[in-house]
Structure 1
């Protein structure tokens, strides 16, 4: 192989200029290779840092509290109270008229007439029947009355108010005969008849 590489090796030795040129070219080649190696090592050292991903500061949707959106189409639940109020008085509600003084006085007048118009009773039984419905003064005034002399009638309707206040009232009670006027008084919280009269027709209450 010497006959192939020999001329190449001997060529720089023919003159000092050729030798210096070859040496200079060799040095330049070595420096170039060194520069290339430095760049490769630098890029290898930087690439791991460049390839490192920066931690994301964006919060995962799973970490965010979820706020349920209101359902605007949902129907309100019914408690049932409004319907019972709008329906008025039912079997479980108290009758508004139960505490009415006028109604209580009317009932007292009608109950007295029902107990008073009993000509079929004997005096003792008749007097006993008046006791829960009349004041002591009226029972005393009727003590000598013969039941046979009272009209044989029955109450046929609601008493008509003639006058009333917080303590007393007057009602014309319709019967199967004539109207019976009954005066009532409030005694210990109970309406009782205090007087009784017969009248041909009821009077209209003042302002009524």
Structure 2
């Protein structure tokens, strides 16, 4: 009895699948040539929903404004002040600086000996520069008693903190 029921269910499933599939060559709307979506056609499933491409690709919407500039300047100044302390014990130096560092740079920075950092005083800065189309990455430059130094900062979203990804001396301009 169970075998008969299972056979009946399998046969009914097979018939319904073949009925949905149709027969080849009888459907005039079928085009065997693949088409290329150039992005100019609209997608009726998304029509009227107001979704931007950022949502679909996971790219955060980030803008540059006065708050972003103030925030990055504050972070850069704080981080450079913590970096330029050659007389602080290594463990304290790193513990104070680490919250302002991107994880990749923090991994490198834990091997920096603060006694070898030549900066004792920041004399000017930060001066911020960025690419016009990139509100997520900036360069901060500082004048110090050890020459000009640069710092690269990045944020991963509008409300995300600015994190230092590099600190290095700048080549003198001649």
Judge conservation of contact 2:153–2:166 (CA < 8 Å) in 1: yes
- Which residue in 1 is equivalent to 2:141? 172
- Return 5+ residue gaps in structure 2 as ranges: 1-64
Judge conservation of contact 2:119–2:144 (CA < 8 Å) in 1: no
Deviations 1:62-106 (A, max 9, x none): xxxxxxxxxxxxxxxxxxxxxxxxxxxxxxxxxxxx952122212
User: Does 2:79 correspond to 1:108?
Assistant: no
Judge conservation of contact 2:105–2:165 (CA < 8 Å) in 1: yes
Deviations 1:118-154 (A, max 9, x none): 1111111111011221111111011211111111322
Could you tell me which of 199, 202, 206 is aligned with 2:170? 199
Greater radius of gyration (CA): 1
TM-score, normalized by length of structure 2? 0.54
What is the CA–CA distance in structure 2 between the aligned matches of 1:170 and 1:126, rounded to whole Å? 22
Q: Number of residue pairs matched? A: 105
What is the SS of the residue equivalent to 2:145? coil
Judge conservation of contact 1:110–1:155 (CA < 8 Å) in 2: no
**Relative contact order, higher structure (CA 8 A, sep 6+):** 2
CA RMSD of aligned residues (A): 2.1
User: Does 2:138 correspond to 1:138?
Assistant: no
- Which residue in 2 is equivalent to 1:84? none
- Which residue in 2 is equivalent to 1:124? 91
What is the CA–CA distance in structure 2 between the aligned matches of 1:159 and 1:181, rounded to whole Å? 9
- Which residue in 2 is equivalent to 1:64? none
Deviations 1:137-190 (A, max 9, x none): 111011211111111322222312232531111111122331110000114611
Runs of 4+ in structure 1 over 4 Å off = none
